[in-house]
Amino acid sequence: MKLGEFSIGVGDRFAHQAKAQLEACILAGKAGIEVIPVWNKSNREHAIIGSEPSSVRAAADTAVKELGWKLPYFCDADHINLSTVDRFLNFCDFFTLDVADSIGRPAEASSIDAFVKRHSELLGTIRLEGAGKSIQITPDLLERTAAKFLFAVQEAGKIYRKIEAAKGKSGFIAEVSMDETDAAQSPAELLIILAAISDEGIPVQTIAPKFSGRFNKGVDYVGDPRQFASEMELDMAAIQLAIASYGLPSNLKLSVHSGSDKFSIYPAIHAAMKKFSTGVHLKTAGTNWLEELIGLAEAGGDGLALAKEIYAEAFAHADELCAPYATVIDIDRIKLPSPLEVDRWSSAQFTSALRHDQSSPAYNPSLRQLLHVGFKVAAKMGGRYLDLLEANEAVIAKNVTENLYARHIAPVFLGIQQDAELSTRLTGTRA
């Protein structure tokens, strides 16, 4: 299997928006580009919701059949490890090998020594063509990087070989994820990591490094977009060098995790792709669930009432809901409105606070982040929530498609910034 140049990870926590998400990729096709959908859902999300990987596959297959999609599509076992991969084997064909927890655990000294000796070509000044810059790798840096990352790459190799034994070498796409860690990897470290991945025999097609800045859930990038742009170009140059040097797949590309709603860096991603004639895998997830809430609130009546109830429950259980995501959210509790205040809101007030429109004075990023991690509340409602999704499918689907296309696909892959005219022209809805 081969992942296309442009691809987008689409989360669908309640398995009801696959058609609306695929419609966004169809719009991309009408605009002249192929964007491959990859439905992703992590083991943690399945555990919280009480779902199974089979539900992701069933929703994706149904959407593809009903909309007549002819291009490839995939289902991603997101952030899996050796202990969680088994439940995904029968239903997924894209596996995100998450080894961030193993970073910093030292490999055996003999393995580190052997790696350093085997890759003496990495020492010295290395020109990163295309980026117009060089990096220096000293013996000390090479050894320190191997000590920090080699064990993690070896763990990725174990996961890969377990999947390969079940599905065959050509039966799935492998991604290696190292983004959920404390420090960003430098281009030199990325090049060394890719050499180690090649040694492990992993035909990796996307790699998710840790970038500088904060990638908080559901809100914009926090950091210096110029620094991000420089990092992305250097990483792309390092990947191209690794492909040429180590026989890695020619379509190997960067994966940007927690990539939804990072509007301020989308121009840099698009520019870097054009400069290096390469693609990116943009992984989104919770933004879809928030569009469901926006759609319910927009529908009014029972939908708005349920959206308010979800907020009240999330507010009451904020500590519990935020704990698993503490490193990727930044909520100012003082800026959270009380449930009593929200209960008096109109549909327009609720959607204006939640919708990611930074030009709106009503937009509340703290409320948005709390609801982003509050999907557990909706999961506990079971049929009450799902029935309202189905009853309000039309308005929810418009929000899901518009959000994914106009706010994500268009700026990243087409270089078209979101605006009211774009949304109206392509989806028939307002921005």
The pLDDT of residue 423 is 53
pLDDT grade, residue 292 (50/70/90)? Answer: very high
Report whether pLDDT(426) > 60.
no
The pLDDT of residue 421 is 52
What angle separates helix 286-299 from helix 383-391, to the nearest 10 degrees? 70
Residue with tokens 């605009």: 31
pTM to 2 decimals?
0.95
The pLDDT of residue 417 is 79
Kindly give, in sequence order, each residue whose CB lies less than 8 Å from that of residue 155, ignoring residues fewer than 6 positions away.
81, 82, 99, 102
Rounded to whole angstroms, the Cα distance separating 2 from 74 reads 10
The pLDDT of residue 286 is 85
The pLDDT of residue 429 is 45
On the 0-12 / 13-18 / 19+ scale of CB atoms within 10 A, 52 is: middle
CA neighbor of 40 nearest in space, from 21, 62, 67, 66: 21
DSSP 223: S
User: 319: which 2 tokens?
Assistant: 């500590």
pLDDT in tens, 93-144: 999 999 989 999 999 999 999 999 999 999 999 999 999 999 999 999 999 9
Percent over 70 (pLDDT), the chain: 97
Averaged pLDDT score across all residues of the chain: 95
The pLDDT of residue 422 is 52
For the segment 263-273, the average pLDDT, to the nearest whole number, is 97
pLDDT grade, residue 173 (50/70/90)? Answer: very high
Report whether pLDDT(180) > 80.
no
pLDDT grade, residue 427 (50/70/90)? Answer: very low
User: 262: which 2 tokens?
Assistant: 């990072």
What is the full DSSP assignment across 272-335? HHHHHT--EEEE--HHHHHHHHHHHHHH-HHHHHHHHHHHHHHHHTHHHHHGGGGGG----GGG
CA neighbor of 293 nearest in space, from 407, 374, 402: 374
DSSP 406: I
On the 0-12 / 13-18 / 19+ scale of CB atoms within 10 A, 51 is: middle
Rounded to whole angstroms, the Cα distance separating 286 from 20 reads 15
240, 194 contact by CB (below 8 A): no
pLDDT in tens, 298-355: 999 999 999 999 999 999 999 999 998 888 999 999 999 999 999 999 999 999 999 9
Report whether pLDDT(66) > 90.
yes
